[in-house]
Amino acid sequence: MYGQVLLTLAGFEGEDNNLAQVKALAEQAMNIARQTENIRLYHQGINILGNLLFQQKRYEEALKHYFEALRALSDVQGDYFLAFDLHLKAGLCLSFMGDRFKALEFLAEAETIAGISGNEVFAREAQEAIAFVNHRFLGTMVGSDKPKVNPHQELIDDAKKEIKGEMKGNVLIEDIFLYMGHQKYELCMKRIEELTKRYPSENVRILAMWIKSNIYMRTNKSKEEIDLLQELNLLKPGFSIILHNLGLACSRLQRFGEAEQYLLQAIHSVEGAFYPLAHGNLALVYIALKKRDLALHHYSIAKEQGAAERILELIDQRLSTI
């Protein structure tokens, strides 16, 4: 009982930004939790300490606390709030540490917990966090008057037309993206194979190839990604995100001349050359090529068009090297 009072007091101190007192109260509560083997109380104490570090932008340290709580969370049955909160905060920490895909994996888990619990507030918070992370890494996407949130949505829509509303096909596509979100790539590949066998049409094949290329990107198989994207570029010529990802993959292999050409093609394939992510990545290519004026030019456009915070930070860091 006394331990819970300490955590409540820690919460009040947190509201007043008395961080040193929060730490002292939470640690006292955790000591009591250890002595009384009160697992729930111990988890709550870890969570409060993690939140304290999160407030101080000490994300790696905060993440260790969240992971410690998550490791033993199975001992606290039915505590949806704690499970949701830990996954959400861990995902946000990972995003600030620069790991987009791992961040999205934890946020997808938070969204799943929200669905199981039936809590609409949780669901909305998870969706907002996912949108925040995507915007942090991708910024405003392609388009002119109304930038597209998902530039690959056209590929999904075209494939679904050929599935003709069949439940099995829609479920397979949902499974594929669910497994992608949770980084379960082997299961994702199995579902892709099922999808293409069941629906052997060109647009389904194009979607399958696009998703596979994304898996290759996430698993650092840049050569395989380039081979697949080049094949896709023949089937879907001038498609902005295919050209963009070809540029990125070439850049990762330090094939900067090819990267420059693909990224320029991606930019010019979009109305008004409104493609902030491509401008940002092209600036990074020009930094690698030591072409400072061109790097600054595309950096300026990327910033003006609303490029992702993360990419602008990288450009800022690397500009000082040339």
Q: What is the pLDDT of residues 251-302, one digit of tens each?
A: 999 999 999 999 999 999 988 888 999 999 999 999 999 999 999 999 999 9
Cα three-residue angle 158-161-165, rounded to 5 degrees: 140
What pLDDT does 105 receive? 87
The CATH H-level (homologous superfamily) assignment of domain 153-319 is Tetratricopeptide repeat domain (1.25.40.10)
The reply to whether 153-319 shares the fold of 2-138 is yes
The two tokens of residue 31 are 């000591």
Pick the CATH number of 2-138 from 3.40.605.10, 1.10.3720.10, 1.10.10.10, 1.25.40.10: 1.25.40.10
Residues of the chain with pLDDT under 50: 1-17, 35-37, 75-76, 144-149
Q: What is the pLDDT of residues 5-29, one digit of tens each?
A: 333 433 433 344 455 656 666 666 5
Sorted by where each begins, the domain ranges of the chain are: 2-138, 153-319
The two tokens of residue 226 are 């380039």
What pLDDT does 113 receive? 84
What pLDDT does 70 receive? 80
Contact (CB, 8 A) for 32 and 70: no
Nearest to 238 by CA among 246, 248, 249: 246
pTM of this structure: 0.68
